[in-house]
Amino acid sequence: MILFLFLFMALAGANATAQSVGPAIWEIGEGDSTLLIMGSVHLFRSDIHWLDPEIRSRFEESTMLVVEVAYLEDMDEVTIRLVEERGFYPPGESLADEVGAELYERVMLHAEALGCGRREFSQLRPWLAVLVLTQLWAERHGYDAGAGVDVVFNRMANETGKPVWGLETIREQMDVLIEDLGSDPETMLEYALVQLDNGDYLDSLVEAWLKGDMRALEALLHESLADFPEMYELLIAARNRRWAGMIEMMLGDEHSQFVVVGAAHLLGPDNLLDLLRARGIRVVRQ
């Protein structure tokens, strides 16, 4: 989830084929050694229904939920601590000292449009500035991280006592945000502003995801990242390469896993599904 940062990239599926309409699910493996993978949209509108009987049934048949980050109840505590320790500039410094004047002004205009005070916002380090802008933009447009697909599955698992396992920890995700992406703050901020300027982008993603329209989702991913290959490598491809081996090891486990990852991980170069195929594992959309 990467703390719901760059959530406009939360696409679904890969490898367009003529399949049934609806959010996409893939079966991985063969015989008794199988698991299911579903792409998640991390931000969702609470008034949109997506959990159809087929998806619910496949989830209920599983014995373990696998998500990017388990123990979401710890997220607030970890995030608050990191914000306090690493989210603000010391006295006498500001965002204006770290990025160019033109980009700084664009960031400030977005912040003001979303109700933030210029002086206060300038004290946020780039990674925190992006998080705040993204959250405020999403709220203004009716989207809620609490209604995200992975969060809904987490809630359902907790209610039924189904074990939940994470591919990463929240601190590992924060390290990608603060250390890796944070090493190039101008690119990180520029990417975020491009997404914020495209007001229809998230609506288009959700509509395509609900239909299981792989071609549309692939096109949206390309549109989002064509000018930011380094973002794709850090946020998506590098993590996919780590996860592919972890998911392969799950095959043959005593549990029947239902895996839910941000659906951009199932699209584009080095997508998770193709990496599994390259390991000789059968991948079939259901």
Strand pairing class (33-40; 25-30)? antiparallel
Question: Residue 3: its pLDDT value, please?
Answer: 46
Question: Residue 21: its pLDDT value, please?
Answer: 57
* Domain around 156: 2-285
Question: Residue 72: its pLDDT value, please?
Answer: 66
Q: How far apart are CA 262 and CA 265, in angstroms?
A: 6
Strand pairing class (33-40; 257-262)? parallel
Output the tens digit of pLDDT for each of the chain's 286 residues: 444 444 444 443 333 333 445 788 999 998 888 999 999 888 888 888 899 999 999 999 999 999 998 876 677 788 889 999 999 999 999 999 999 999 999 999 999 999 999 999 999 999 999 999 988 988 888 888 788 898 899 999 999 999 999 999 888 888 888 998 888 999 999 988 988 887 677 788 888 889 888 788 888 877 777 788 888 898 889 999 999 999 999 998 888 999 999 888 998 889 999 999 999 999 999 8
When divided into structural domains, the chain yields a total of: 1
Question: Residue 221: its pLDDT value, please?
Answer: 79
What pLDDT digit, counting tens, does each position of 194-235 carry?
A: 888 876 777 888 888 898 887 888 888 777 777 888 888 988
Question: Residue 16: its pLDDT value, please?
Answer: 36
Burial degree of 187 (CB within 10 A; 0-12, 13-18, 19+): middle
Q: How far apart are CA 163 and CA 64, in angstroms?
A: 5
Question: Residue 47: its pLDDT value, please?
Answer: 86
